[in-house]
Amino acid sequence: MLSTPVHDHAEWFQSWRMKGLTKGRRSHNYTYVHKHALAMDPSLTVQQLNRKSIQYRKTVLSIIRHGGAEHTGGSLSSIDILNTLYNRILRLSPATFQGANRDRFVQSKGHSVEALYTVLADRGFFPQSELETLNRFGSHFIGHPTRHVNGVEQNTGALGHGMSFAVGSALAAKLDRKDFRVFALLGDGELAEGSNWEAAMTAGHYRLDNLVVIVDRNGLQITGPTEEVVQLEPLHLKFEAFGFAVCECDGNSIPELLANLESVPFAAGQPSLLLAKTRKGCGVSFMENSVRWHHRVPSDQEFEQAIQELEKAEALLI
Ligand SMILES: Cc1ncc(C[n+]2csc(CCOP(=O)(O)OP(=O)(O)O)c2C)c(N)n1
Ligand SMILES: [Mg+2]
């Protein structure tokens, strides 16, 4: 671990100014993704993607522990979705990120930013070493996505805004006769925000078949099960009523995610909605399906146990 305490802001900021954001920092083994994939690689196999998911999970836990805060459960639930999108689906790379015809990805559940940062680093949007500045005073890597970080399409974190932004972008593509697609990732608890339904109604009205909304359906909110906080079911019928073509899959299964996301739009002339059934905290036994891990930081012992479990899972990959 780094020697600088998380809250020693003044000292750290001074050294950051002196050395540049990351140059000269002590190197240590807190990230587990060893190679940057600079362009989307359609030849990546399911097995390679499965391995990436495990490596991503280890990195997510490491940067959360090092940063001393953030959202553990929701980052782990959505990592397979981000892995599939960024490595196989999105027509997007660091080289094309400013291009008008790039696919757009909006992470509306902005609190799961550690998952997004981890995947963006692996895809080469910024050096892996910058992840270690998470939550440090003066760093752009704060607890919710901002456009100061290369690769982030939209500032998010106040829940309920991402789908509206995505609908606007998809509508702009139609008006400008461009063929990019817009993907948005939402939390299921986030759907309690009424603004989502206004956006959904608009997407249906304009028949935005270049829009793909993915709901990370892990069943948990910040304080408990979604069905107890604000009932969502029957969710697929609600989206269908708003004009979406709806599919469901295991959102922690790379093959199922690939099969669905490679077949968008699910129906011509309709926006697509993928209900990705995930496990909050996926990959670590004692974090799975536990509301306690919404934004808990692992202790040293919990961290070691989690890494051991993930390494065991990695060793079992053929
Ligand atoms: C407008 C708004 N209200 C409240 C919050 C606080 N908040 C952060 S995460 C969260 C729960 C979100 O649950 P869900 O969308 O299911 O996320 P996930 O389970 O994927 O972590 C809440 C209420 C917020 N970020 N924005
Ligand atoms: Mg949830």
3-state secondary structure the chain: CCCCCCCCHHHHHHHHHHHCCCCCCCCCCCCCCCCCCCCCCCCCCHHHHHHHHHHHHHHHHHHHHHHCCCCHHHHHHHHHHHHHHHHHHCCCCCCCCCCCCCCEEEECCHHHHHHHHHHHHHCCCCCHHHHHHCCCCCCCCCCCCCCCCCCCCCCCCCCCCHHHHHHHHHHHHHHCCCCCCEEEEEECHHHHCCHHHHHHHHHHHCCCCCEEEEEEECCECCCCEHHHHCCCCCHHHHHHHCCCEEEEEECCCHHHHHHHHCCCCCCCCCCEEEEEECCCCCCCCCCCCCHHHCCCCCCHHHHHHHHHHHHHHHHHCC
- How far apart CA 33 and CA 223 sit, in angstroms, is 32
Ligand 1 pocket test: which of 76, 185, 190, 294 has the largest number of ligand atoms within 8 Å of its C-beta? 190
CA–CA dist 214, 199 (Å, integer):
14
| C-alpha gyration radius of the chain | 19
Ligand 2 centroid – CA 216 distance (Å): 6
218 C-beta closer than 6 A to ligand 1: yes
Q: What is the pLDDT of residue 70?
A: 84
The Cα 262–Cα 90 span in angstroms is: 10
Digit-coded pLDDT (tens) for 5-23: 333 333 433 443 333 333 3
pLDDT tens column, 77-87: 999 999 999 99
* Residues 6 or more apart in contact with residue 86 via CB below 8 angstroms: 40, 92, 105, 119, 120, 122, 123
Distance, CA of 39 to CA of 125 (rounded, Å): 10
| Ligand 1 touching residue 281 (CB < 6 A) | no
Which sequence spans correspond to the domains of the chain? 1-35, 48-315
| pTM for this entry | 0.90
Q: What is the mean pLDDT of residues 306-315?
A: 98
Q: What is the pLDDT of residues 184-233, one digit of tens each?
A: 999 999 999 999 999 999 999 999 999 999 999 999 999 999 999 999 99
> What average pLDDT does this structure show over 144-160?
97
Instruction: State if residue 109 touches ligand 1 by the CB under 6 angstroms criterion.
Output: yes
Lowest mean pLDDT segment, chosen from 11-15, 280-284, 306-310:
11-15
With the most atoms of ligand 1 within 8 angstroms of its CB, the residue from 144, 159, 164 to mutate is 159
- At 81 the pLDDT is 99
Q: Residue 128 pLDDT more than 90?
A: yes
Q: Give the residue, by CA position, lying nearest to ligand 1 atom 11.
A: 222
What pLDDT does residue 23 have? 35
Which of 26 and 306 is assigned the larger pLDDT? 306
pLDDT at 119 over 80: yes
Measured in angstroms, how far is the CA atom of residue 247 from the centroid of ligand 2? 18
* In contact, 140 and 175? CB cutoff 8 Å: no
Q: Tokens at residue 192, please?
A: 């309690």
CA of 317 to the centre of ligand 1 (A): 33
Q: What is the number of the ligand closest to the CA of 185?
A: 1
Ligand 1 mean position, distance from CA 268 (Å):
32
Residue nearest to atom 18 of ligand 1 (CA): 74
Give the span between the Cα atoms of 16 and 130, in whole angstroms: 12
Candidate of 161, 222, 229 to mutate for ligand 1, largest count of ligand atoms within 8 Å of Cβ: 222
- Nearest-CA residue for ligand 1 atom 15 is 187
Question: What's the 207 CA to ligand 2 centre distance in angstroms?
Answer: 27
Q: Is the CB of 188 under 6 A from ligand 1?
A: yes
CATH number for the region 48-315 comes to 3.40.50.970
How far does the centroid of ligand 2 lie from the alpha carbon of residue 17, in Å? 38
Tell me the average pLDDT across 244-273. Answer: 98
Check residue 118 and give its pLDDT. Answer: 98
Q: What gap in Å lies between CA 170 and CA 152, rounded to an integer? A: 17
CA distances to 70, 175, 284, 289, 290 from 309, rounded to whole Å, are 21, 49, 7, 16, 17
